[in-house]
Chain A
Amino acid sequence: MRDEDALREAAEIARARAGDTGAFAALVCRYQDRVFGFVLRMIGVREEAMELTQDVFLKAWTALPDWRPEARLSTWLLQIARNAALDVLRRRERVGFTALEALAEVADTAPGPDENYAGRQRQGRLIDALAQIAPEHREILLLREIEDLSYAELGATLGLSEGTVKSRLARARAALLARYRPFAGDADD
């Protein structure tokens, strides 16, 4: 983030903390796609992810006075999103919702329109594989590979020591690679 963007955001956060809903709306606008993208990849169902994204920002509004500048706002929002997504997954587990049901929807929404066919196939395979691994592996991969969180930020967001971050990331990558071989399937795509 450029300095002037950071300053503007700091001012918006200060105003939102003081109760300025317009300033908060500007923050929502900036981060809604990132939160939605993360939540969608975590839970897989578009309608549910849209609702959950809204819940995340409502929670963020309530909790904003507790936010501390030591954490980037984006990381803090992703932490709220992560907890909300895990709640959904736990609820589903109780009612016996399977990963495969979510999978069908995720695959539908995955590829961008301008991707070529082989690229779309490849992305579809990655998203399918991602939906099949454990949520604890999925979340750490999304936060590292897409959100680009550092090991320290991953530790703070997931409540893990940096040593555990390191080993969990390694296991998560191995679990994904067991279902998605990047170099396999290229020939027949």
Chain B
Amino acid sequence: MTETCLDLETLSALVDGALTTTAEREARAHVACCPACGLRLNEMRQLSEDFHVLPTPPLGFDLGARIETRLPSRPAPRRHLWGGWSSLVALAGAAAALVLGLRLGMSLVSDDVGREATTPVVLAMSVFDAVPPGNLCPRPDACFLARVSR
């Protein structure tokens, strides 16, 4: 048995069966020989039992039926991550505007634009898939902008 008495946390964890196997064995060995710890442990155990026999007061009416008609309607769940065909077009437009803006901006602060233009990067959409708009993406990359280097 351990020399010192069990602390509160150990006793409490012992009631919950939350100690490691070794810690539990040691704690039980101590409690078996120490009336003081035995009493404290029994009090905690009895407290648990008293909670378990505490009656649960029922609500007393069918709340589901009462609130069912008052539930606000839920917006239809979105089936497509990007909101479908029209969003793709809008997104492509936004991307094109961003690229153009960046290029114009760069041209103000750098004269290397001409050299960069020899390795153009073109953004294009995979809009010619065999899948009609609104369907789930057939491949993870099919719904996103395809990055094509030339």
Does A104 make an interface contact (CB < 8 A)?
A: no
Q: Which of B7, B56, B77 is the most central at the interface, judged by chain A CB atoms within 10 Å of its CB? A: B56
Question: What is the interface size of chain B, counting residues whose CB is below 8 A from a CB of the partner?
Answer: 40
Known: A36-B58, A123-B55, A145-B52. A54 touches B8 (CB 8 A): no
**Contacting residues of chain B (39-97) with chain A, CB-CB under 8 angstroms:** 42-44, 46-48, 50-59, 62-74, 76-77
Known: A18-B77, A24-B64, A183-B46. A170 touches B11 (CB 8 A): yes
B binding-site residues for A, Cβ under 8 Å: 7-9, 11-13, 15-16, 18, 42-44, 46-48, 50-59, 62-74, 76-77
Contact A36–B47 (Cβ < 8 Å) = no
Contact B18–A19 (Cβ < 8 Å) = no
23 sample A-B contacts, Cβ–Cβ < 8 Å, listed by A number: A17-B74, A18-B77, A19-B76, A21-B71, A28-B67, A33-B59, A36-B58, A58-B70, A58-B71, A61-B72, A62-B72, A111-B55, A112-B55, A119-B53, A122-B50, A126-B54, A145-B48, A146-B56, A151-B16, A170-B11, A173-B8, A182-B43, A182-B50
Residue of A nearest to B15 (CB): A173
Give the chain B neighbours of A160 by CB distance below 8 A: none
Give the chain A neighbours of B62 by CB distance below 8 A: 29
- C-alpha gap A37/B58 in the complex (Å): 7
Q: State the Cβ distance, A17 to closest chain B Cβ, in Å.
A: 8
Give the chain A neighbours of B77 by CB distance below 8 A: 17-18, 65
Residue of A nearest to B11 (CB): A170
Contact B73–A32 (Cβ < 8 Å) = no
Does A90 make an interface contact (CB < 8 A)?
A: no
> Which of A22, A61, A126, A169 has a CB less than 8 Å from the CB of B12?
A169
Give the chain A neighbours of B52 by CB distance below 8 A: 145-146
A binding-site residues for B, Cβ under 8 Å: 17-19, 21-22, 24-29, 32-34, 36-37, 40, 46, 50, 53-54, 57-58, 61-62, 65, 109-112, 115, 119, 122-123, 126-127, 141, 144-146, 151, 166-167, 169-171, 173-174, 176-177, 180-183
Known: A123-B55, A126-B54, A177-B44. A53 touches B12 (CB 8 A): no
Give the chain A neighbours of B42 by CB distance below 8 A: 183
Known: A32-B64, A109-B57, A123-B54. A170 touches B47 (CB 8 A): no
Q: State the Cβ distance, A45 to closest chain B Cβ, in Å.
A: 12
Known: A50-B59, A144-B16. A182 touches B67 (CB 8 A): no
Q: State the Cβ distance, A23 to closest chain B Cβ, in Å.
A: 10
- C-alpha gap A61/B46 in the complex (Å): 38
